[in-house]
């Protein structure tokens, strides 16, 4: 069994909200992740929902602000919320800005020399972390869903599109939909993947991945606040995702909400709908 260390444990809605740490082989550092264990886990294996957080976040943001535990308990889902990047790798410049380096792993596997040994969040989320969860918790095999916010919404979309069938459902809050075309994405991809390697950039862009998606039917749910300042700044580009889905016939429900911003107030308002969305596919 993979060695994990319990960092905290709190009883909530009949289950347990816990935080664990472990030594990650993919990232070469100690990582933390939150796990909500629903009461249904006492009776047998349960489905898993992965949550990927956004820029500057740790595992704590979703755990403490989203109000997800009651909905996870209702549906009997184990919810896993990892950190957003490696920490303390002693890489020059890793703490210089909020949108690159620490807290900004972008859920990709870096190829640039400076970052490639540690910044492998894509492999961590899709390979190492699921193996850790399967080894340490009572979960149903092949019964996974994924969702996320902002940078994590981007992560959820690309993980689902790059691994057809791995996740039965996917959803996102205010995702970075087309990172090759927005300032956040251009900065991250230039730094992690190299300015000249534009083909590699496309392998981590939902709008580009949709062009060649050839897997099981995938119904995407997205919530976006109209009062989100990053929407106006051209960082999120939801219309590009809708257009890309339309071209290839992948269903997407893009819900635009008047006045809602980019915060966890927005997420906590609509998180029940996302659990209902995943329940349609995880309970069939």
- Tell me the two tokens of residue 254: 């893009």
Q: Which of 68, 85, 150, 171 is catalytic?
A: 150
Question: Max CA-CA distance within the chain?
Answer: 52
Could you tell me where the DSSP H helices lie in the chain? 60-65, 69-75, 121-123, 129-136, 151-162, 183-193, 198-202, 206-210, 229-232, 238-248, 264-282
Clarify whether 169 is annotated catalytic.
no
Clarify whether 228 is annotated catalytic.
yes
Q: Which of 109, 205, 223, 228 is catalytic?
A: 228
Pair 139, 46: CB distance under 8 Å: yes
Q: Which of 75, 262, 277, 278 is catalytic?
A: 262
Pair 193, 112: CB distance under 8 Å: yes
Q: Shortest CA distance to 26 belongs to which of 105, 94, 109?
A: 109
Clarify whether 278 is annotated catalytic.
no
Residues with catalytic roles? 150, 228, 262
């Amino acid at each position: 069994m993979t060695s994990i260390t319990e960092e905290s444990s709190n009883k909530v809605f009949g289950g347990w909200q816990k935080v664990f740490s472990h030594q990650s082989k993919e990232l070469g550092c100690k990582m933390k992740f939150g796990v909500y264990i629903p009461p249904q886990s006492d009776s047998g294996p349960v489905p898993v929902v992965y949550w990927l957080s956004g820029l500057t976040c740790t595992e704590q943001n979703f755990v403490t602000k989203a109000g997800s535990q009651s909905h996870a308990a209702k549906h009997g889902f184990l919810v896993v919320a990892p950190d957003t990047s490696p920490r303390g790798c002693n890489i020059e410049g890793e703490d210089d800005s909020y949108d690159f380096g620490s807290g900004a792993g972008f859920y990709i596997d870096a190829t640039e020399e400076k970052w490639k040994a540690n910044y492998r969040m894509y492999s961590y989320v899709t390979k190492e972390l699921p193996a850790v969860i399967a080894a340490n918790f009572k979960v149903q095999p092949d019964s996974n869903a994924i969702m996320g916010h902002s940078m994590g919404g981007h992560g959820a979309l690309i993980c689902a599109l790059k691994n057809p069938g791995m996740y039965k459902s996917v959803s996102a809050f205010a995702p970075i939909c087309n990172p090759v075309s927005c300032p956040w994405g251009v900065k991250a991809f230039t730094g992690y993947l190299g300015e000249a390697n534009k083909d590699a950039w496309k392998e981590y862009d939902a709008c580009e991945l949709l062009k060649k998606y050839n897997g099981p039917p995938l119904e995407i749910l997205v919530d976006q606040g109209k009062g989100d300042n990053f929407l106006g700044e051209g960082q999120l580009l939801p219309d590009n995702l809708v257009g890309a889905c339309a071209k290839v016939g992948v269903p997407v429900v893009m819900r635009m909400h008047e006045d809602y911003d980019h915060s966890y107030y927005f997420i906590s308002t609509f998180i029940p709908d996302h659990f209902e969305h995943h329940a349609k596919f995880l309970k069939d």
